[in-house]
Amino acid sequence: MCLRVDPWFIEIVSKEFMYRIGQEEIEELRCVIESRQLFRSGNAAGGHQQEVVRFEREWGETIGRKYALCLSGGGTAALICGLVGMEIGPGDEVIVPAYTWMATALAVLAVGAIPVLADIDESLSLDPLDLERKYTPQTRAVIPVHMTGRPANMQAICDFARANNMFVLEDCSQADGGSYKGRRVGSWGDAGAFSFNDYKIMTCGEGGALVTDDLTIYERALVYHDAGTAFRPYGQDLSIPIFLGQQYRASELMGAVLRIQLQRLDGILSDLRRMKNAFHEQLSDVANLRFAPGNDPEGDCGVLVAFQFDDEASARAFASAPGVEGGVPIDSDKHVYTNWTPILEKNIGHHPAVNPYNYSQNQNLRTDISNETCAKTLGILARTVYLAMNPDWTDEQLQARIACCRDAMK
């Protein structure tokens, strides 16, 4: 009925996306549309569905945090609001891993601060030892990223950050619902940022969320995301002064889709993990086939299986063997810092006066960044192979893929 695109297109996209979506979202959207109130605030007595507010309560409970703020503008907006909440700005350095979607570094620049790159380790997330090496007294925060659903080493990162008075903002964009040592990611740092765009485990088309237990971080993010909040009823109850910000408000349509997506989340995660575990169990005896070490294999979302090889040639041979359909993450475009062209060229903002690299407060910070900054990261990414899991594979499809991996190593 709503198929206005060719079936071949649907087949291509459904292969890539891991979220599930269907009739339940349509029903929830129908209620919102029939209420005729699509804005996040509205009159409940007049039929307003309170979808965003309800999603925020449910998301906060799911992650295990007091406050959740749902946003348009995606994980990027959530990261920006988190940094605003921590009052990060000009004169501050923020450590980000050299392997992450460019938005992690973009968010730091968006608040006027300078991103300082740190290497990843074999777990494919921020190396706590390089965090220690890169730390200076100007470093106000660190953004560990749970890349491809694999949790970062939050124990070591949080311990170091607390001992040195740094904020921790978790980038959970690729790990909606994942966990580390039995607690969901996003509940370890001072705040956590999530994305619900098309490539993530949950989606509402675009959208994101920030979570925290800290009232000041939450209120500052709330004010910033709502263009200053001044005229909203809740503006009067804030414990902080009103300042002008941006406009990242979520709509009721997003909230409606997200509330259903949340109901699907644990099912998707358990299917992804079942697929990933089958690879690990059935391929553990294959000579020379090594899995990348994980900081918490049980909390890993299972978005993909990661193999590591001694060199790039072996990785590429395995990735392109018949039926394996692997990818080598050094090829993953703007997830690798050497492809962050606007940042490498320091082309930030629409006007030279709003480019943080030109701010007087930033002149003594570590603004040097080049292709050589994190060579260790490039080496690891070039000898890693990813196999993307699909939560909706049949048993036959799963077993066929596992067999192809085994054959590739013969």
Ligand X SMILES: *Cc1c(COP(=O)(O)O)cnc(C)c1O
Q: Which is nearer to ligand X, 209 or 405 (CB)?
A: 209
CB of 329 to ligand X, least distance (A): 12
Task: Print the binding letters for residues 7-26 with ligand X: x by CB under 6 A, - otherwise.
Answer: --------------------
Task: Print the binding letters for residues 131-150 with ligand X: x by CB under 6 A, - otherwise.
Answer: --------------x-----
CB of 382 to ligand X, least distance (A): 20
Q: Which residues are paired to 286 by β-bridges?
A: none
Cβ 123 vs Cβ 75: under 8 Å:
no
What is the DSSP secondary-structure string of 302-352? Answer: -SEEEEE-SSHHHHHHHHTSTTT--B-GGG-GGGBGGG-HHHHTT--SSSG
Q: Which is nearer to ligand X, 101 or 359 (CB)?
A: 101
Residue 170's identity, in one-letter code, is E
Q: Which is nearer to ligand X, 72 or 187 (CB)?
A: 72
Q: Which is nearer to ligand X, 197 or 339 (CB)?
A: 197
C-alpha–C-alpha distance, residues 328 and 317, integer Å: 10
How wide is the angle at C-alpha 198 spanned by C-alphas 77 and 389, nearest 5°? 125
CB of 102 to ligand X, least distance (A): 8
Contacting residue, 60, 74, 128, 294, with ligand X by CB under 6 A: 74
Cβ 99 vs Cβ 384: under 8 Å:
no
Q: Are strands 139-142 and 167-171 parallel, antiparallel or unpaired?
A: parallel
Q: Which of residues 327-356 bind ligand X (CB under 6 A)?
A: none
Q: What would you report as the CA-atom Rg of the chain, rounded to the nearest whole angstrom?
A: 22
Verify binding: residue 111, ligand X, rule CB under 6 A.
Answer: no
**Candidate ranges 41-49, 97-105, 252-260, 286-294; the one touching ligand X (CB under 6 A):** 97-105
Verify binding: residue 42, ligand X, rule CB under 6 A.
Answer: no
Q: Which residues contact 315 (CB under 8 A, 6 or more apart)?
A: 307, 308, 309, 328, 382, 383, 384, 385
CB of 98 to ligand X, least distance (A): 12
Verify binding: residue 75, ligand X, rule CB under 6 A.
Answer: yes
Question: How many residues lie near ligand X (CB under 6 A)?
Answer: 14
Q: Which of residues 152-211 bind ligand X (CB under 6 A)?
A: 171, 173-174, 195, 197, 208
250: DSSP letter? P
Contacts 24+ apart (CB under 8 A), 226-231: none
C-alpha–C-alpha distance, residues 202 and 71, integer Å: 14
C-alpha–C-alpha distance, residues 241 and 219, integer Å: 10
CB of 74 to ligand X, least distance (A): 2
Query: Binding residues for ligand X, per CB under 6 A?
Result: 74-76, 100-101, 103-104, 145, 171, 173-174, 195, 197, 208
